[in-house]
Amino acid sequence: MSQFSVKELLGTEPASQQVVINGWVKAFRSNRFIALNDGSTINNLQCVVDYENFDEEIIKEISVGAALKVTGSLVESQGKGQKVEILVGAVEIHGAADPETYPIQPKKHSLEFLREKAHLRVRTNTFSAVMRLRSALAFAIHDYFNKNGFYYMHAPIVTGSDAEGAGEMFRVTTLDAKNPPLTEEGDVNYKKDFFGKETNLTVSGQLEAEAYAMGLGKVYTFGPTFRAENSNTSRHLAEFWMIEPEMAFYDLDMNMDLAEDFIKSVIQYVLENCDDDLEFLEKRLLDEEKTKPQAERSELSLKDKLRFVVDNNFKRVSYTEAIDILRNSKPNKKKKFEYPIDEWGADLQSEHERFLVEKHFKCPVILFDYPAKIKAFYMRLNEDGKTVRAMDVLFPGIGEIVGGSQREERLEVLKEKMEQLHIEEEELWWYLDLRKFGTAVHSGFGLGFERLVLFVTGMGNIRDVIPFPRTPQNAEF
Ligand code: 4AD
Ligand code: MG
């Protein structure tokens, strides 16, 4: 007798064939109908218990959350709502789940409650759907790059350089925190540390990806990145996954074209391949929207929103144009923005990004040519001497989903920039080497994976789209 998944059995023609199926009990009605799920699909398999053949002891152990092995015959369902069901011959209990203490009951739990039970929450419909979509998106991303001539490159996780120059990093050390070795000046002596220098968890694999793009042409990284900023928002994690393509001989326009095509392709993939889960999340979102005032409700359903992104061009707008729009906008004039926009050069906050995307353009937006002062050191300086070839992709409900740029490939210009920002040449000597030997126009960007999953699933908090979120004061599990 073969062992199948629920997904396989739900797609099988019933012919009273004997089957074995393992899963967890989602519901147990009338001491007769077991809804069984093994994670292979959002849909449950109905197993109908024939009372006569069962001892009471086993029936007692069947409750929500219990793990079972069911043997029986696959038949056409007598009831509505499913094509097939199992007439149960025998049930073995892998493990019972005490109904008095098992926290995941078949009722609506708040997302906050489930965050406290992160080790069990994947057994709910919502989280299983989100995590299957997360997995499908990761596959679609690798598939996209593979089909488009990119090589997957593994950037190091422990680094000695600060790619973003933001300085909010997690230190990696084996020194004794209570009694570290000191230099003559009384500072911690990192020469005695494991790597012989100060090291951190990476904030981005970009600098190393640039080195590899200069030999392999087109590469991408897809790995964990870490930021020690104390941002307690629904869009920030301390540990998140980033996808960073880096391409030799690409200018900023080609970079924007790639970002747009890439995002559309992976969203198209889930539209084509994950309909059950999207359908479930769409309904969930609709229920949630009903609790909101009319004015705050989204006009589009989840799948319509995804289709909208796939079918429409992203609007490309320079930073300077965006500042004009924002300066003259209603919320700015009525002092509704927390950070009012007065002059050119202001850094954009998520309230501004969301105004542009949700209220003004009503579509995804790519902002480009930002002031050099508010962007990282490695971005290519424009002829005007004050803007750089940066781009951010902004999404409805999310704000910034992608940040990227054309890189400064001119050695002298880069050195000057580093000097202005007090970045030691010795620290990035190898990065400068890339500009000394066979330098070329090149570009890349970083997509925050969880922000993409947030958009695709319609979830509201980034903590709910990664299995075990790491945020300030939170590294349980
Ligand atoms: O804009 P960022 O900081 O860009 C970089 O790190 C570049 N080195 C990327 C590159 O050009 N290769 O980050 C890129 C994206 C953001 O747009 C956002 O989606 C995501 O990473 N991100 C975060 N996601 C979750 N939590 C955080 N704390 C994030 N910080 C950035
Ligand atoms: Mg950014």
Percent of the chain beyond pLDDT 70? Answer: 99
> Contact at 8 Å (CB) between 226 and 169?
yes
Q: Rounded to 10 degrees, what is the CA torsion of 215, 218, 224, 225? A: 80
Structure tokens at 246: 């880096």
Structure tokens at 225: 């990145």
**How high is the pLDDT of residue 1?**
66
Query: What ranges in 356-447 are assigned the alpha helix state H?
Result: 411-420, 429-436
**How high is the pLDDT of residue 56?**
79
Average pLDDT, the chain: 95
Neighbouring-strand partners of residue 392: 367, 403
For the CA of 466, the nearest ligand: 1
If one residue of 203, 442, 451 were mutated to test the ligand 1 pocket, choosing by the most ligand atoms within 8 A of its CB, it would be 451
**How high is the pLDDT of residue 295?**
80
**Atom 9 (ligand 1) nearest CA:** 446
| Rounded average pLDDT over 68-78 | 94
Percentages helix, strand, coil for the chain (3-state, rounded to 5) are 35, 25, 40
252 touches ligand 1 (CB under 6 Å): no
pLDDT range class, residue 166, cuts 50, 70, 90: low
Q: Which ligand 1 atom minimizes the distance to the CA of 402?
A: 17
Q: Which ligand 1 atom minimizes the distance to the CA of 393?
A: 17
**Atom 17 (ligand 1) nearest CA:** 402
Residue 321 has pLDDT above 90, yes or no: yes
Percent of the chain beyond pLDDT 90? Answer: 89
CATH class of 123-168+203-464: alpha beta
**Atom 29 (ligand 1) nearest CA:** 236
Distance from C-alpha of 63 to C-alpha of 106, rounded to nearest angstrom:
11
| Rounded average pLDDT over 166-182 | 91
Residue 357 has pLDDT above 70, yes or no: yes
Degrees to nearest 5, angle at CA 140 with 378 and 440? 25
pTM over 0.85: yes
404 touches ligand 1 (CB under 6 Å): yes
Taking the domains of the chain in order of start, what are their residue ranges?
A: 3-104, 123-168+203-464
If one residue of 242, 466, 474 were mutated to test the ligand 1 pocket, choosing by the most ligand atoms within 8 A of its CB, it would be 242
208 touches ligand 1 (CB under 6 Å): no
User: How many other CB atoms sit within 10 Å of the CB of residue 255?
Assistant: 26
Q: How far is the CA of 308 from the centre of ligand 1 (A)?
A: 24
In 3-state terms, what secondary structure has residue 93? strand
Distance from C-alpha of 75 to C-alpha of 64, rounded to nearest angstrom:
24
Residues 6+ apart with CB under 8 A from 45: 6, 9, 10, 21, 23, 35, 36, 37, 82, 84, 85, 86
| Rounded average pLDDT over 150-170 | 88
Structure tokens at 327: 């300066």
**How high is the pLDDT of residue 18?**
95
444 touches ligand 1 (CB under 6 Å): yes
* Tally of CA atoms within 13 A in the half-sphere of 91 that contains its CB: 32
Query: What ranges in 73-124 are assigned the alpha helix state H?
Result: 111-115
Q: Which ligand 1 atom minimizes the distance to the CA of 404?
A: 11
User: How many other CB atoms sit within 10 Å of the CB of residue 151?
Assistant: 14
407 touches ligand 1 (CB under 6 Å): no
Degrees to nearest 5, angle at CA 202 with 196 and 207? 95
Q: For 120-152, how does the pLDDT look when each residue is reduced to its tens digit (9 = 90+)?
A: 999 999 999 999 999 999 999 999 999 999 999
Residues with CB under 5 Å of ion ligand 2 are: 403
Structure tokens at 236: 């920030």
Of 37-46, 260-269, 297-306, 428-437, the poorest mean pLDDT is in 297-306
245 touches ligand 1 (CB under 6 Å): no
Residues 6+ apart with CB under 8 A from 122: 39, 128, 131, 467
Look up tokens 């629920």; give the residue.
6
CA distances (Å), origin 138, targets 267, 416, 435:
11, 39, 33
**Atom 4 (ligand 1) nearest CA:** 403
> Contact at 8 Å (CB) between 378 and 415?
no
| Rounded average pLDDT over 223-250 | 96
Q: How far is the CA of 344 from the centre of ligand 2 (A)?
A: 18
Tell the CATH topology of 3-104.
OB fold (Dihydrolipoamide Acetyltransferase, E2P) (2.40.50)
**How high is the pLDDT of residue 441?**
98
469 touches ligand 1 (CB under 6 Å): no
Distance from C-alpha of 51 to C-alpha of 30, rounded to nearest angstrom:
11
What letter represents residue 437's amino acid? F
- The DSSP H or E segment spanning 60 is helix 56-61
| DSSP string computed for 249-274 | T--HHHHHHHHHHHHHHHHHHHHHH-
Residue 162 has pLDDT above 80, yes or no: no
Look up tokens 């920002």; give the residue.
421
Q: Which ligand 1 atom minimizes the distance to the CA of 166?
A: 3
What letter represents residue 267's amino acid? I
Residue from 384, 387, 383 nearest 373 by CA: 387
445 touches ligand 1 (CB under 6 Å): yes
pLDDT range class, residue 328, cuts 50, 70, 90: very high
Distance from C-alpha of 240 to C-alpha of 466, rounded to nearest angstrom:
8
Q: Report residue 111 CA to chain centroid gap.
A: 17
Residue 167 has pLDDT above 70, yes or no: no
pLDDT range class, residue 52, cuts 50, 70, 90: confident
pLDDT range class, residue 45, cuts 50, 70, 90: very high
> Contact at 8 Å (CB) between 457 and 398?
no
Look up tokens 């890339």; give the residue.
434
